[in-house]
Amino acid sequence: MQIIPAIDIIEGKCVRLTEGDYSQKKIYNEHPLEVALQFQDAGLERVHLVDLDGAKAGKIINWKVLELLATKTSLKIDFGGGIKKQEDVRVVLEAGALWATVGSVAVKDKTSLLQWLQHFGADKFLLGADVKGEQLAVGGWLETTNIHIYDFIAAYLQEGIEQIFCTDISKDGRLEGPSLQLYQSLLEKNNTLQLIASGGVSSIQDLEALRAIGCAGAIVGKAIYEGRISIEALTIFQAS
């Protein structure tokens, strides 16, 4: 199971939110490159980069941070937040992301996303499924829909999407453990799914539990920044 540390960006700085609430923002480092280099130096290979300003504004804002990390590190980067047009995908990929992370557009404008998949290739996308309960949430988690997570994932697997990360917003930033039951149910219903867990990871034991149920990866954020899990421990776990 791959460990994917998260770097969330507001105003060019590395931050974390709690339950997706922009008013519950904590700045951990004003220089995201320093954080990324720590991950790289420890032997981690990938990073989940989120433009929270972009997610809220509906347009990419912090693409320069992506470009900086892609230029100055060898990390494999998935980038999301504010990708609304085909041109946005081009900007993100040309700035150095290996994957464009899409969530809200997959819910609100499936026709456009299917065109992007054809143009760039489905392997260039990471599908983000953010949930409250089992319903999708969009727009930087500010809007809950009536779309069920199981139907959403099944539809996009048929379109060639391979990687999907699922965030239970009620767990995110709370360090109370991941949504194991939800993830296990998703994997049981879709046995070809490469599921990346996101939200709530607080310990190596949480990661062991996620690996045991078959998750392909786990995004780890606040647990790193709050010192619950050392970067070195994550490296050892991934190698085990």
Q: How confident is the model at residue 167, as a pLDDT?
A: 87
Give percent of the chain above pLDDT 90.
Answer: 78
Task: Please say if 8 is a catalytic residue.
Answer: yes
pLDDT band at 113 (very low <50, low <70, confident <90, very high): very high
Asked about 88 being catalytic, the answer comes back as no
pTM: 0.92
Look at residue 185 in the predicted model and tell me its pLDDT. Answer: 93
* 178-219 per-position pLDDT tens digit: 999 999 999 999 888 999 999 889 999 999 999 999 999 999
Classify domain 2-239 at the CATH topology level.
Answer: TIM Barrel (3.20.20)
3-state helix, strand, coil in the chain (%, to 5): 40, 30, 30
pLDDT per position as a tens digit, 69-110: 999 999 999 999 999 999 999 999 999 999 999 988 999 899
Predicted local confidence at residue 194, as pLDDT: 96
Catalytic residue among 130, 168, 172, 206: 130
Domain extent listing, the chain? 2-239
Helix (H, G, I), strand (E, B) or coil at 132: strand
How many other C-beta atoms are found inside a 10 Å radius of the C-beta of residue 24? 11
Q: Which of 8, 53, 88, 206 is catalytic?
A: 8
